[in-house]
Amino acid sequence: MPRSRELVVFFSLLLLTFGVGLAQITASTNDSSNPAGSLLARHPEFLHAGIAACCLLLGWSTTLSTRVVDRLLNKQVVGLVLAVGLGLLGLSLFVANERWITLGGLKFQASEPLKFAIPLLCGVCLAQTKGTVNIREHPLMLLISAGVAAAIAVHDLGSAALVLGTVVMLLFAAGADWRWLPAGVLTLGLFGGLYIGMEEYRIRRLDAWLAPWEQTNTNEGAQLTESLRAIHQGGLEGAGMGQGLRSQGYLAVDESDFVFAILAEEMGVLGSALVLTTFAGLIFSLWRVAWQCPNPAARWFGVAITITIAMQTAINVWVATGLLPTKGIALPFISRAGTGWILLAGAIMVALMASHPNHEPEPILAADR
């Protein structure tokens, strides 16, 4: 029976390959740009997917020094990664004044790097814990995570909720007292309610979620109702790849936020179940890989990434099926993306390298304590 590391690579590449094909179909049906242009110019996701696949293969078969991961997972690197992520977020908030920024011709969400910087911070902080986790022992981690989430929420409430949710679930996975759970849920609820009330479009999304069929004449209501129609009309076997009505431009953001609705319409219940089963296999295998890491920082980082993937998948599917209001959360490896694929592949690579059978954690130096 294949080991968990091989299964992580198999499931990741399977999802990534399917995501590239789906991105090609949705782009070709919605994009009226110059058809004679270069393939990579019209569909740069192929280039991004190639880079992501290379990262995954590198993490699977690497024979690099066993100290590489240990040198990456320390306070100095965490500080640098957070500084870069916060710098990009500052450009988004104070220069571009939107959630997307463009650097070097590459357009991406400023919050994307911070989705992986916070798990890195949590991994390094929790590595110093002896035995069960006491939430009171990690005030800096909680303050930084809450501050980053608050800044992200200005333009991207969904990603902010993802970051906070990952931290809360990671703490309980690390052994925190479950009596803190009501406080965590209450904090997340107050956080979400505050930011929803700050923006009119978020209130409209909430209203549309509560009564979508009464607001089909609005963008928010039309998105959800078309998504539900797509899932219903997909039936058991679906209409066939590229043959669905909603992928022809009748469903907004069909390549990212509502990509699951396109899956359901074109692949039916059977195809959607296969994709979700693949996600379950990836999450379960990556969870096992994370717990096999001898380095405690890498272990908790891997657990945090696993939780992030699970939450992202659940939120995307729940939004498409009307169980949650629209959040703007992509489906990992499936939604059309660039930086998201690369960063996720890089995070999985770190977990795979750290769990290598020949890997031994580097002794902690006195200067690093």
Report domain extents, the chain: 7-21+45-58+201-360, 73-198
**Rounded-to-integer distance, Cα 238 and Cα 243, Å:** 9
Average per-residue pLDDT in the chain? Answer: 79
Residue 67 CA: distances (Å) to CA of 96, 316, 326, 333, 350: 39, 36, 43, 29, 12
Q: What is the 3-state secondary structure (H, E, C) of 158-197?
A: HHHHHHHHHHHHHHHHCCCCHHHHHHHHHHHHHHHHHHHH
In one-letter notation, the amino acid at residue 68 is V
**What is residue 279's predicted lDDT score, i.e. its pLDDT?**
95
Q: What is the pLDDT of residue 59?
A: 63
Q: Which pLDDT does position 358 carry in this prediction?
A: 58
What's the average pLDDT block by block, 10 residues per block, for the chain (369 residues)?
76 82 62 45 56 64 59 84 90 84 77 89 85 79 90 87 90 82 80 80 84 80 85 83 73 78 88 93 93 86 94 92 85 78 83 70 48
How far is CA 318 from each of CA 39, 162, 292, rounded to the nearest angstrom?
33, 14, 31
Q: What distance, in Å, lies between the first and last C-alpha atoms of the chain? A: 40
Strands 106-109 and 100-103: antiparallel
